[in-house]
Structures are given as structure tokens and as C-alpha cells.
Amino acid sequence: MYLMLILAVLGFGMTSCTTEDNPAEPVTPSDDPVAAWLSAIPGVSEVKILKQKSELPNPVKIYDFRFDQLIDHKNPAKGTFKQRVTMVYNDPSATNVLLTEGYAISENPDSISMSGISTQMMTNEVCVEYRYFGNSLPEAFDNLDFTYLNSEQASADLHAVVSALKQSGQFPQKWIATGVSKSGITSALYAYYDEKNGWNDIDVYVPFCAPFCESLADTRIGSYIEKSSLAHFPEAEARYEAFFKSLFTNTYLGNYLLQKTVQTQPAWIETMKKQGLEDNEIYWAVVHYNAVQCQRSQFSRVAYVPIQSWASLIPSATASTEQELKWAYTFIYMGDEELEKELKNRASSGTRVTMTEEQREGLLIKRAKDRTMPYAVQAAFELGDYAITYDFLKGTQGLFPSYLDYFEKREQLAFQFPMYVGQYNNAMTMDFINNFLPKTSKKMVFVYGGQDTWTGAAIPDPTNSNVKKIIVPGGVHNDFMNDTRYYTKEYSDKIMALIKAFLQ
């Protein structure tokens, strides 16, 4: 199409993955015995082999596949979706690690890292992408109700995958579930729902850096210290092509652009006159200048903002009224950031009980630009979030606490996602903390970093012998147990000793 030709001419080619950002190509699994038995598991499809760090003599093999997952585990009639799963498989005699991903799995094989536990043991490792992240979508990308986004559904996803793998007979040894941060929360809440449902899937749960917020703005944490896939919409591309051509054919628009340029860049107009350009030449110079500006803005618009959210904003090719011409001028210079502001402005009025189309457009922008957006929504539903406190500033000269309070609240979920906040319920979190942890028979080892902000929402000190809690002095928000910059050998050994004792 014309748009794509222009992008190519300008050197803005919308390429797929380059060798640099996706260094490992899929390998056909037809002759691979692991891929063969994996493909035979009910529910498994689209098995690929990705070679990690392909320049090495023996690159790590990552089995990448899709699993038919129920959209709603409470109502199978709703149907299924394809959930992404990756696996590193060493041997049936190896311990099995389930990495309970809380977000999307990277598309770049070399960016898919093994868990801290797997770096300490020669394990098999399975990683399940969290629903609503990546392409693991129970509902369409533009459905922003997030109807089935909660920890109970996500835990049932994990149960389904683990059950299917166990039934294959290829994973006879014991299982450890682990993850970091939200992935760690996912591990812990999997234990919670495992016990409630009597699944008995996992032998030991090891959440790293897993915070459990007790409110939507949990001040404990503050006290302790966020492609555009150019979805190919032929109608939108045709509309843009017509508008772009109208820069050269619509004299109403051309004259308006000339008028605006005289107002905004008078020195340039005067320079052209002094150089002897006729009025007609100046007109065309202005038109071409604006065409370049429009296309450069278009590059960032299609790169960062989903076209479906703003296709209706593309100006008319026959713009002639003052309002139409003003909007056309605005659109020409509107990059992704300005476009986001415009969509937000269109969604800024009214009571947010149910979302308007404009509000949905604004959220689509967030979801496309920030692939972690479903996390923020889930936090607004059930997980809660943090709030920064400023007690240390008390008494500072010139301080206006009301200003701090105003700006801080504008950063919190209640301000950023008011359409979801009314659904917040912390009953599950409080039941997990107050009732599950003191009594559970599940074997659990919680690991936190002493320096990590999120440790402010760590679990209480356990009173249950089945639950252990370790705070690593100076530790931060990761599980890099093989790296002495983060975990001394003493603490790495201590964590592994607890895990191995629970595996007995």
C-alpha cells in the first residue's frame, strides 16, 4: 500500500524481527523425540524448538508450544484459548520446576531466562504465560473488561498444564513452583487454590520477592521505599492514504496550512520571499513541508498506538470547514504522545461506572504501549498496589503536604484506572495471609530482598512450620542465586537446603 511504500522510501521500514532482536529462528521439531511426545499430549499444539544462544556449541533448546486452555474454568461452555508455554527438558529423572510467569514470555529466545532454582539444580523447567498477556488472550485484545483476569482462573490454568504434563509420564519426579515478583505472587496463590481444590500438583512452592498488598494504596511499601501492531485495517489505511494525498489536492487545506505557517514560522516565509520565491512556490513548499511532518508523525503513531483506537480520528480528505481544517492541522503534527493526550482528553468527562468508547480507546493505548497493563488492572481488581509516604520530609522548609498528597494520588491506581477501582476486593489476599498461611499443609519457602521496596508487603513472620521466610540482607528484586552480587553462597545454600528438605 501507499503508506508502506512511503515508509520504505523514508527508511522507516516496518520490519519483522531482526537478527539482533530475535537471534534464534524456530527449528522444525519433526525429528526431535521430546517434541514428538510433547505434541502427542492432549491440548498441546504448535510445538516449536527455539535455540537459545545459538552461537554456542550446545545451545539451550526451548520447546515453545500452545496449550488449549479454558476461557472460564467455572464454565467450560465458554470455550478455549491458546495459552503459550515454554519448556526446557533435560531428563525424566530431573526435578521439575514450574515457573509461574506473572506476565508475558519474551519473544526473544535469548531473553528467556531460567529460574534461580534451575540455575542451582539440573531441572526440567516449564513456564506458563499469564492469561491476558502476550497472545494468551481469553478475550480479544480490545476487550477491556478483563472478565476472566484473576488469580483463581490463573491458578486453574497452571493446574491444567501441570496435570496434562504429568499424565504424559515424562515428568515422574517432584515439582517445585517458583517465580519472582508478580510471578512469585502467582506461585503463592497457586498453592492457595491448590489446597482449596485438592489438586496436589506441587511439592514445594518458592515465591521470590512476592508482595501481598492489603489495600489499593498500601502505604507499608512506600514506608519501606509502566507494537502498536499496526493491525492491518484496510479501511484505516485507505482513509489515511486519501488524507495524505489531499495535502496536495485539497486547496482549502493547502491554503490553511499556508496561513498557519505564516503565523507560526514567519521568518521562514520571509526568507523564502527574500530568496525570490513566488507565492505559488511558497504555497507548494509549505504543502511539502507539512506532508513530511505528517508522515514523520504517522511513523510514531503506527509504531506506538494501536490504529484501531485512533483510525476514526484520521481527518477527512475533503476537509473544508474551519473545524475540519483545524483538526487536520492538529493531526499532521500529532505524534504518539500527543495522540494519547487527545484520546485521554476525549475520555476525561463523566462518571466512570461503565466505559465509554473514548475511555476504551485510551485504555487500548495503555495496553499496546505497556504490555504490563493487565497487571495494573488485576491490581485494581484484587492484588492492590503501593503508595509512597513522605514522613521523612516533615518539617522541611517550604513543604506543602497537600501538594504532595495531590500529586501522589494522581499516580495511584484509583486515579489511573478509576473505571476498575470500584471492583477492588482484598478478601482473597486477607484470607491468604490470615487463614491460609498459618494453617496450610503446603510446603512453602518465601524469599525476600532486604533492600527491595516490595519487601514492605512481605508475608508476616510464619508461625506454621510448613512455611519458611528468608530475607536476604542487601537483596533486591530477583532470584539470581548463582550471582554472588545478589546472593551470598551462605544464603543461596540456605534456600536450597530448605527446598531440598521439603522435597524429601
CB 157 within 8 A of CB 132: no
d(CA 274, CA 17): 49
Q: Are residues 200 and 257 in the same domain?
A: no
pTM above 0.75, yes or no: no
Residue type, 346: R
30-52 mean pLDDT: 90
φ, ψ (nearest 5 deg) of residue 380: -70, -25
Across the chain, what does the average pLDDT equal? 83
Residue 396 placed within a domain: no
Query: Is pLDDT larger for residue 215 or for residue 412?
Result: 215
Both 203 and 259 in one domain: the answer is no
pLDDT (tens digit per residue) in 230-266: 334 577 777 877 887 888 789 999 999 999 999 998 9
Residue 354 lies in a domain: no
Range of the domain at 322: 234-346
Element holding 179 (H helix, E strand)? strand 175-180
Report yes or no: 62 and 88 within 8 Å, Cβ to Cβ: yes
Contact status, residue 69 vs residue 131, Cβ threshold 8 Å? yes
Whether the pLDDT of residue 347 is over 60: the answer is no
Enumerate residues 6+ apart whose C-beta is below 8 A from 485: none
- The pLDDT value given to residue 187: 98
Confidence of residue 292 (pLDDT cuts 50, 70, 90): confident
Neighbours of 126 (CB within 10 A): 23
User: Are 273 and 151 in a shared domain?
Assistant: no
Instruction: Give the lowest-confidence range in 29-38, 39-48, 310-319, 410-419.
Output: 410-419
Alpha-helical (H) ranges within 411-452 are 413-416, 418-421, 427-431, 437-439
Give the HSE-up count for residue 77: Cα atoms under 13 Å, Cβ half-sphere: 1
* Per-residue confidence (pLDDT) for residue 397, from 0 to 100: 52
DSSP state of 40: T
CB 385 within 8 Å of CB 213: yes
Q: How many CB atoms lie within 10 A of CB 260?
A: 17
Provide the grid cell at 282. 511558497
**Which residues in 322-442 belong to E strands, given as ranges?**
none
Q: How far is CA 201 from CA 160, 167, 192, 298, 495, in A?
A: 10, 12, 12, 50, 21
Residue 273, in any domain of the structure: yes
Domain boundary residue, one of 312, 346, 380? 346
392 in a domain, yes or no? no
Model confidence band, residue 14 (pLDDT cutoffs 50, 70, 90): very low
Say if 163 falls within a structural domain. Answer: yes
Mean pLDDT of 266-281: 89
| Distance (Å) of CA 250 to CA 123, 239, 256, 299, 482 | 66, 15, 10, 23, 65
Domain termination residue (choose one: 293, 325, 346): 346
Helix (H, G, I), strand (E, B) or coil at 338: helix
Residue 5 pLDDT > 50: no
Summarised one tens digit per residue, pLDDT across range 433-448 is: 999 999 999 999 999 9
Looking at the domain assignment, is residue 400 inside a domain? Answer: no
Res 278 pLDDT > 50: yes
Confidence of residue 2 (pLDDT cuts 50, 70, 90): very low
Q: 82 and 140: one domain?
A: yes
The dihedral formed by the CA atoms of 328, 332, 337 and 339, expressed in degrees to the nearest 10: 30
The predicted model gives 87-99 an average pLDDT of 95
Q: Is the pLDDT of residue 22 over 50?
A: no
Q: Count the Cβ atoms, other than its own, within 10 Å of residue 386.
A: 25
Domain limit, last residue, from 346, 377, 406: 346
Between 262 and 294, residue with greater pLDDT: 262
CATH of the domain at 50: 3.40.50.1820
- Check residue 238 and give its pLDDT: 79
- Residue 306 sits in the same domain as residue 190: no
Same domain flag for 133 and 43:
yes
Q: Report the share of the chain in percent with pLDDT over 70.
A: 81
Between the CA atoms of 42, 43, 49 and 50, what dihedral angle is there, to the nearest 10 degrees? -150
Measured between alpha carbons, how far is 322 from 320 in angstroms, rounded to an integer? Answer: 7
Grade residue 54 by pLDDT with cuts at 50, 70 and 90: low
Contact 305, 336 (CB under 8 A): yes
Distance CA 190, CA 241 (A): 50
Q: Which position has the grid cell 533486591?
A: 476
CB 384 within 8 A of CB 421: no
Q: Are strands 60-70 and 44-52 parallel, antiparallel or unpaired?
A: antiparallel
Examine the domain organization and report whether 213 and 77 are in the same domain: yes
3-state secondary structure of 351: coil
Q: Which three cell numbers stand for residue 424?
A: 477492588
Domain count, the chain: 2
Contact 167, 411 (CB under 8 A): no
C-alpha–C-alpha distance, residues 78 and 70, integer Å? 8
d(CA 204, CA 175) in angstroms, rounded, equals 7
Please state, for a pLDDT cut of 90, what percent of the chain lies above it: 51
In terms of Cα–Cα distance, which of 308, 295, 298, 294 is closest to 368?
A: 308
Q: Is the pLDDT of residue 1 over 80?
A: no
More confident of the two residues 187 and 339: 187
Same domain for 213 and 241, yes or no, is no
* Residue 402 to residue 407: CA distance in whole angstroms: 9
Distance CA 390, CA 39 (A): 55
> Do both 86 and 189 map to the same domain?
yes
Whose cell is 472478565? That residue is 147
Q: Are residues 282 and 154 in the same domain?
A: no
Per the domain annotation, does 161 fall within a domain? yes
Name residue, grid cell 516449564: 126
The closest alpha carbon to 219, from 474, 453, 475, 472, belongs to 453
Name the nearest CA neighbour of 435 among 409, 455, 464. 464
Both 203 and 242 in a single domain?
A: no
Helix 279-304 and helix 336-346, axial crossing angle in degrees, nearest 10: 70
437 and 311 in a common domain: no
Query: pLDDT digits over 106-162, tens only?
Result: 888 888 888 999 989 989 999 999 999 999 999 998 888 899 999 999 999 999 999
Q: How far apart are CA 126 and CA 130, in angstroms?
A: 13
